Amino acid sequence: MDRCPVARKEWRPVTIIAIADEVRAALAAGRGVVALESTILSHGLPSGRNRKVAERLEAVVREAGAVPATIAVLDGKIRVGLDERQLDRLCAADSGLVKLSKRDLGPAIAMNQDGATTVASTAAIAHAAGIGVFGTGGLGGVHLPLPGKHSSWDVSADLDALAETPVLVVSSGVKSVLDIEATLELLETRSVPVIGYQTDHFPGFYLRESAYALSWRVDTPKQAADVVHAHWQVPGQAGILLANPIPPEYEMDRELHDQLLADGVKLLDERGVQGRDVTPVLLEHFHTASSGVSLDANEALVVANVTLAAQIAADLAER
Ligand code: PSU
Ligand code: MN
């Protein structure tokens, strides 16, 4: 009984989470705020390009009338809202930042290890800071088994975070390197509503449509905000996933996509890639093997998702 309280006494959330002045002021004034993750920048995009994307994301949030809050762990603290220099550090080629899922936050803070947050950790932090809307690229999901394996047991903590945290996540579905069917089944089991944005099908990240139909669809930011507003008034509800397909002009050619995917899976097997390295290695393969086509696609979809998230956050803030 009295073994835990010692640790708890030392637990001071106010000193662990540092909220940037601009974000704090926006929250206090009831303005729309959009959480942005950092793993997509540090581990999902190459250095140089990632810094430009970071800037663009913050700009589109502001244009839509909300305030951006990029989240990362720097200098032993969880940072909610980064300044220019912190964004530079996050995006540097030699940043030394590690990918931090929800379970990694305590160890990283204690060991003073700088790191980038995934959807799972960003959602948890956003909620703790009082932010309800979060825009990103792709959600983690259930991985397909590698050749010769019965099951991968690789299920992203992003799914549990959505099941536990009252946050709206706007993404372009999950990458086709995942088991989309299993991912959607798990989201159903964990009571996470999946809403299509101007689509009746779950999007496939680089592709606008997967083979899987969705039960719910909205067509405007206002409708999306209506759904979020109602969802959070229903007792016991948590996360909600808004699935926004990649803009049509950036959708990848299906044949190129399928080839990249097949080669990527082979590469993982040959190199014995496991755990948290799987997603970054696959993304890197897509970016290099497609000569940047997947990079343009990635940027276009994340910009669209973050814009939509900001429009919804601005609408929710008016209620
Ligand atoms: N999917 C992408 N780009 C990304 C990620 C996923 O297309 O950058 C990142 C996100 O941060 C996501 C994480 O939360 O990878 C999922 O990693 P894992 O599958 O190891 O849980
Ligand atoms: Mn995983």
How many angstroms separate the alpha carbon of residue 173 from the centre of ligand 2? 16
- For the residues 156-160, what does the mean pLDDT come to? 97
Local confidence band at 187 (pLDDT 50, 70, 90 cut-offs): very high
Q: What is the pLDDT of residues 91-148, one digit of tens each?
A: 999 999 999 999 999 999 999 999 999 999 999 999 999 999 999 999 999 998 877 7
* Catalytic pick among 37, 58, 251, 299: 37
Q: Which of 58, 102, 175, 251 is catalytic?
A: 175
CA neighbor of 204 nearest in space, from 269, 257, 153: 257
Say what the alpha-carbon torsion angle 33, 38, 40, 46 is, to the nearest 10 degrees.
130
Average pLDDT over residues 172-186: 93
pLDDT, the chain, mean: 94
Rounded to 5 degrees, φ, ψ at 236 are: 80, 10
Q: In the predicted model, is pLDDT for residue 12 greater than 50?
A: yes
Q: How far is the CA of 117 from the centre of ligand 2 (A)?
A: 14
What residues are designated binding site for Mn(2+)? 154
**Coil, strand, or helix at residue 26?**
helix
∠ CA 9-14-17, nearest 5°, is 120
For residue 194, is pLDDT > 60?
A: yes
pLDDT-derived band of residue 55, with 50, 70 and 90 as boundaries?
very high
Indicate the residue type of 106. G
Q: What is the pLDDT of residue 9?
A: 57
Cα 216 to the chain's mean position, in Å? 21
- Average pLDDT (218-247) is 97
Q: Which of 279, 285, 301, when mutated, tests ligand 1's pocket best, judged by the most ligand atoms within 8 Å of its CB?
A: 279
Q: Is 285 in the pocket of ligand 1 (CB under 6 A)?
A: no
Nearest protein CA to atom 20 of ligand 1, as residue: 276
pLDDT of residue 2: 47
| Confidence band, pLDDT 50/70/90 cuts, at residue 90 | very high
Q: Is the CB of 156 under 6 A from ligand 1?
A: yes
292-314 per-position pLDDT tens digit: 999 999 999 999 999 999 999 99
Substitution site in 36, 39, 274 for ligand 1 pocket (most atoms within 8 Å of beta carbon): 39
Cβ(216)–Cβ(223) under 8 Å?
no
Query: Among this protein's residues, is 175 annotated catalytic?
Result: yes
Task: Check pLDDT > 60 for residue 7.
Answer: no
Q: What percent of the chain has pLDDT over 70?
A: 95
Atom of ligand 1 nearest to the CA of 143: 19
Average pLDDT over residues 155-182: 95
pLDDT score recorded for residue 13: 52
Report pLDDT for 153: 87
Q: Which domains does the chain have, with CATH numbers?
A: 17-317 (3.40.1790.10)
Beta strands in 107-210 (DSSP E): 115-117, 133-135, 168-171, 194-197
Query: Is residue 58 annotated as a catalytic residue, yes or no?
Result: no
Q: What is the ipTM of this complex?
A: 0.98
Q: Is the CB of 44 under 6 A from ligand 1?
A: yes
Question: In this model, does residue 33 exceed pLDDT 60?
Answer: yes
Binning pLDDT at 50, 70 and 90, where does residue 149 land?
A: confident
Total residues found in the chain within this entry: 319
- Residue 37 has what pLDDT? 98
Classify strands 115-117 and 194-197 as parallel, antiparallel or unpaired.
unpaired
Backbone angles phi, psi at 201, to 5 degrees: -120, 150
Residue 181 pLDDT > 80, yes or no? yes
How far is the C-alpha of 209 from the C-alpha of 172, rounded, in Å?
Answer: 10
